[in-house]
Amino acid sequence: MMLRIWLNAVLLICGHFCNATGAFVGVNIGTDVSNMPSAPDIVAILRAHQITHVRLYDANAHMLNALAKTGIEVMVSVTNKEVLGIGELASTAAAWVNKNVAAYAPSTNITSISVGSEVLTTLPHAAPILVPAMSNLYKALVASNLNYQVKVSTPNSMDVVSRSFPPSTATFNTELNSIMIQILQFLMNTKSFYMLNAYPYYEYVKSNGIFPLDYALFKPLAPVKQIVDPNTLFHYNSMFDALIDATYNSIADLNFSGIPIIVTETGWPWFGGSNEPDATSGNAEVYINNLIRRVSNDSGPPSQPAVPINTYIYELFNEDKRPGPISERNWGLVFTNGTSVYDLGLADAEISTGVNSSSSFCIARPSADEKSLQGGLNWACGHGQANCAAVQKGQPCYIPDTLQNHASYAYNDYYQKMRGSGGTCDFGGTATTTTVDPSYGSCSSNSTLGGLFPSSALGPVGQSSDSTRTAVGLHFGTMVAAAAAVCLVI
């Protein structure tokens, strides 16, 4: 099964939803908010912080009008209440598309439709009608000549997976196999993506101490505490990556491949009740900053290192009208007046990265073709005199054993040694620079500052208390990784 995943990795390289600008981080905008700002005010907040991807939980006309001509990419949603009607009648689906998509395109940049929210686990009686609803919406898009611009999918929680660790043995719940096969076949046929709601916070809480908090927060783990899949020997430096790989393996278990995953929801609550000790602003700040850094590396989880992880953070505002525990109402990144809930470097357009702002690293472009990349690697390790010993088998930077990983290391070794005397980061157009420190585990940037390593690509994160700040071109605590001109939007 793992071999099948690796063989199909190339098919996923920026295939269905990644473009030349690489991975992005977007935001969800919920509506259970007291004193909700007007649509123009919300868009003003988005534009002020240069947020370029948003997910709406409905298809609010005021928001869609306000988003017109902003260039912001918009995911609109069919609510759970609407799924049944759209699934039962093609005419209802056509009316929905005409009213909520065609009426605004292309002025409003609608790029996808989210059909319901976790329907399989929250509305199981609607499961049989879910794929017909998706199919009816897709046919309506075809009729409007919008099917190439707008993708259709449905978000699922991790609850559809029977057991997420180890990722290599993860499978979908057997009672859902029939509907999951239908969903995956639809996604394959329409070249769409699998929508995943992945919450390390909840998985950590449910684990009852089995997994360390640092693992959920993307923080480095001591060698004796590192999380390793015993079947693949993949090292998981974050629960986020493990959850995504568990989903990829569940998809592969049903004999599907080539379907990329987009994370439609993830986040960390910044306040909770007395029985929610880990819902703190400090943990939320670390999680969000490190998540942004993780996604900005433009790489995938260990089983799919070449597939970036487009991600939407939950959420822009605190939805204070939501029922449930106190933490449920405290996931917001900003208050309704636009000020940040916790320190994300809003005022100075900075983010904690753990590297000096003057640092620069040279990595292989994710879009580089294999032949050119091999040529660049050969030159760097030969004529360029890069020290490539660390990427040899058995050495600390050998895993993952991918051409992009090894080329990134060699490129960066050459660049760090030679840039002072005129050496450049080009390698026939297969390389680019980034300010994101790509170190990980024992493969450290403290020596030759090697590569962007797709299996983890996190480096020494989680050090916001004493780390330096790197100025970036995006507000609201984002950073721009020059690698593939990553579009970060938080």
- Domain containing 366 — which CATH number? 1.20.58
Among 265, 285, 328, 350, the active-site one is 265
pLDDT of res. 385: 79
- Among the three residues 325, 352, 379, which one is the final residue of a domain in this structure? 352
Counted residue by residue, the chain has a size of 490
How many angstroms separate the CA atoms of 332 and 318, rounded?
A: 4
User: At 206, which CATH number?
Assistant: 3.20.20.80
Strand pairing category for 227-228 and 235-236: antiparallel
Does residue 347 share a domain with residue 233? yes
Does residue 380 share a domain with residue 294? no
Contact predicate 298/481, CB 8 Å: yes
Does residue 153 share a domain with residue 20? yes
Is 145 domain-assigned? yes
Query: In terms of pLDDT, which residue wins out, 426 or 124?
Result: 124
Is 276 domain-assigned? yes
Q: What is the pLDDT of residues 68-113, one digit of tens each?
A: 999 999 999 999 999 999 999 999 999 999 999 999 999 999 999 9
How many angstroms separate the CA atoms of 316 and 297, rounded?
A: 23
Share of the chain above pLDDT 90, in %: 57
pLDDT of res. 307: 94
For the entire predicted model, the pTM comes to: 0.69
3-state secondary structure of 261: strand
Does residue 365 share a domain with residue 340? no
**What six digits make up the tokens of 68?**
């017109």
Strand pairing category for 261-266 and 311-313: parallel
Query: In terms of pLDDT, which residue wins out, 327 or 222?
Result: 327
Count of other CB atoms within 10 angstroms of residue 281: 15
**Residue 389 has what DSSP assignment?**
G
pLDDT of res. 92: 98
Name the residue range of residue 442's domain: 361-460
263 - beta bridge partners?
A: 196, 311
Does residue 276 share a domain with residue 380? no
**Would you say residue 362 has pLDDT above 90?**
no
Burial class (CB in 10 A: 0-12, 13-18, 19+), 174: exposed
Does residue 344 share a domain with residue 367? no
Is 470 domain-assigned? no
pLDDT of res. 405: 84
Catalytic residue check, 350: no
How many angstroms separate the CA atoms of 262 and 420, rounded?
A: 40
Among 73, 82, 118, 328, the active-site one is 118
Q: Give residue 480's pLDDT band: very low, low, confident or very high (50, 70, 90).
A: very low
Is 482 domain-assigned? no
Work out the average pLDDT over 291-300.
Answer: 90
Does residue 304 share a domain with residue 389? no
Q: Give residue 421's pLDDT band: very low, low, confident or very high (50, 70, 90).
A: low
Q: Give residue 433's pLDDT band: very low, low, confident or very high (50, 70, 90).
A: confident
Is 483 domain-assigned? no
Q: What is the pLDDT of residues 252-289, one digit of tens each?
A: 999 999 999 999 999 999 999 999 999 999 999 999 98
Query: In terms of pLDDT, which residue wins out, 115 or 220?
Result: 115
Work out the average pLDDT over 332-353.
Answer: 61
Mean pLDDT of the chain, nearest integer: 81
Q: Which span out of 230-244, 333-347, 413-427, 428-442 was modeled with the highest average pLDDT?
A: 230-244
Catalytic residue check, 265: yes
Q: What is the pLDDT of residues 443-460, one digit of tens each?
A: 754 433 333 233 333 232
Does residue 108 share a domain with residue 251? yes
pLDDT of res. 477: 29
**Would you say residue 49 has pLDDT above 80?**
no
pLDDT of res. 441: 58
How many angstroms separate the CA atoms of 132 and 152, rounded?
A: 12
Does residue 289 share a domain with residue 144? yes
Is 467 domain-assigned? no
pLDDT of res. 22: 73
Does residue 131 share a domain with residue 8? yes
**Would you say residue 357 has pLDDT above 80?**
no
Is 125 domain-assigned? yes
- Among the three residues 317, 352, 387, which one is the final residue of a domain in this structure? 352
Query: In terms of pLDDT, which residue wins out, 325 or 458?
Result: 325
Is 274 domain-assigned? yes
3-state secondary structure of 208: coil
Does residue 318 share a domain with residue 372? no
Does residue 369 share a domain with residue 340? no
Q: How many domains are there within the chain?
A: 2
